[in-house]
Amino acid sequence: MADFKLMRMLNQKNKKKIVLLVLDGLGGIPMSPGGLTALEKAATPNMDILASDGSLGQIITVRPGITPGSGPAHLSLFGYDPVQFEVGRGVLESTGIGMKINAGDVAARGNFCTVDKDGLITDRRAGRIPTEEAKPVCDKLNNISLPGVSIEVRPVKEYRFAVVIRGDGLEAEINDTDPQKTGVETLPAVAREPGSQKAADIYNEWLKKAREVLKDEPKANACTLRGFSTDPGLPQFDEAYGLTAACIAVYPMYKGVSALVGMDVETFAGDQPTDEFAEASRIWDQYDFFFIHIKKTDSYGEDGNMDAKIRVIESVDQALPELKTLKPDVLAITGDHSTPCKMKSHSWHPVPFLLWAPDTIRSDEQSKFGEKWCAMGNLGTFPGTDILPLLLGHADKLKKFGA
């Protein structure tokens, strides 16, 4: 893990700019042994120039053999050991849509569901009602009030919402109320620790009132709650690394993790790499550090669609000159985990990593960006949590240690 004490001791300010460009689920494996991965197959002339001049390596974001979820994987990219710093799904989801989670608040992720006249679940996702339909339902939930706490509900996407309660003496060791199957009733919120009893009681009271206000909804006539969690207290980017940092991402989860480490989450139009790079250009003078997140590489990996994954990688490559015109001092291109099309899921395989920094780079023998070449690159195989110190070093943002 990044040694925060050392980082704080050594960090120094300057005007150099760092870009961390993350293609979600970038790593892959060949469809059959001996073949090529999506990244190895993709035509990436711009990345290959960077690879040729720069340094390659591969990263492990959680532990060898462990398949990372997206939250833990991004914590690692940002320098936080995800085994040490656990961030609950409720906090990730609510932070991702811009809700502020302070120490002592308890956040949960909600799902609308459909129950029959006996209270048995018939659809765990309420017919996947569209976001527009879910918004007025969330408004109804926002009318619920309980003594001694404030409660905030916000829609996330489709049948998903977030609910945060704020008050004194609240803890979040509470089991999910989603039974994970149909034909049964929703579960009560059960505290796993005595300290969480108060929050569990409040959430149960809230769930009871929610059933009343939702009872006439055609689909979303009930709800379940998951991922009860509190502020994980992550060291913040500014004080830990001395960085002002911006997050340029389209999906809520990634905005959530970024907000939790103290990045400013940008709002912009469009969802293509060119849109994201244009946003970086717009705010270029305001920040030291830019986290840019591309989602679709992972999505197509999960679909098992190698051609589409290749096209996304190529679209990022084609847009790359736009990013280079900004003249970043340090540019890293990597993923948060592998999502091999063959496996249609996240995997534990190390993730290719490319580092380019015109003033300080040491070139290796590799000239193309891809898993097999990264494995022979001069950065070796290293933990994701070492990335931030490495980028800071190349940006001359860390003083010499000792005389």
Residues 150-189 that bind its own copies (CB under 8 A): none
Site string for its own copies, 26-65 (x = CB under 8 A): --xxx--xxx-x--------------xxx---x---xxxx
Find the binding residues for its own copies in span 216-275 (CB under 8 A): 227
C-alpha pair distances (Å), 91 with each of 7, 165, 225, 227, 259: 26, 12, 12, 8, 11
Does position 376 interact with its own copies (CB under 8 A)? The reply is yes
Q: How far is the CB of 63 from its own copies (least distance, A)?
A: 6
Residue number, 151 or 332, with CB nearest to its own copies = 332
**Stretch of 67-75, 100-108, 121-129, 267-275 contacting its own copies, by CB under 8 A:** 67-75
Name the residue type at position 331.
L
**Stretch of 78-86, 95-103, 148-156, 283-291 contacting its own copies, by CB under 8 A:** 78-86
Question: In whole angstroms, what is the distance from residue 69 CA to residue 78 CA?
Answer: 15
Which pair of structure tokens corresponds to residue 240? Answer: 């830990």
Neighbour-count burial of 321, counting CB atoms closer than 10 A to its CB (0-12 exposed, 13-18 middle, 19+ buried): exposed
Residue number, 53 or 193, with CB nearest to its own copies = 53
Q: What angle do CA 401, 261, 158 make, to 5 degrees?
A: 155
Residue number, 49 or 213, with CB nearest to its own copies = 49
Element (H, E) at 380: none
Neighbour-count burial of 194, counting CB atoms closer than 10 A to its CB (0-12 exposed, 13-18 middle, 19+ buried): exposed
Of the candidates 298, 334, 371, the one whose C-alpha atom is nearest the C-alpha of residue 42 is 371
Of the candidates 317, 371, 316, the one whose C-alpha atom is nearest the C-alpha of residue 341 is 371
Of the candidates 325, 330, 377, 331, the one whose C-alpha atom is nearest the C-alpha of residue 351 is 377
Question: Residue count at the site for its own copies (CB under 8 A)?
Answer: 74
Does position 84 interact with its own copies (CB under 8 A)? The reply is no
Residue number, 149 or 240, with CB nearest to its own copies = 240
Find the binding residues for its own copies in span 382-401 (CB under 8 A): 382, 386, 388-394, 398-401
**Stretch of 139-147, 161-169, 305-313, 356-364 contacting its own copies, by CB under 8 A:** 356-364
Residue number, 193 or 359, with CB nearest to its own copies = 359
Q: Which residues of 91-126 are buried (b: 16+ CB within 10 A; e: fewer)?
A: bbbbbbbebebeeebbbbbbbbbbbeeeeebebbbb
Name the residue with tokens 């918004």: 135
Find the binding residues for its own copies in span 86-125 (CB under 8 A): 86-87, 89, 92
**Stretch of 82-90, 158-166, 190-198, 294-302 contacting its own copies, by CB under 8 A:** 82-90
**Stretch of 125-133, 150-158, 228-236, 374-382 contacting its own copies, by CB under 8 A:** 374-382
Residue number, 127 or 383, with CB nearest to its own copies = 383
Residue number, 15 or 399, with CB nearest to its own copies = 399
- DSSP letter assigned to residue 236: P
8 A C-beta contact, residue 392 and residue 7: yes
Site string for its own copies, 309-348 (x = CB under 8 A): -------------------------------x-xx-xxxx
Q: How far is the CB of 289 from its own copies (least distance, A)?
A: 14
8 A C-beta contact, residue 159 and residue 128: yes
**Stretch of 68-76, 110-118, 149-157, 170-178 contacting its own copies, by CB under 8 A:** 68-76
Residue number, 202 or 353, with CB nearest to its own copies = 353
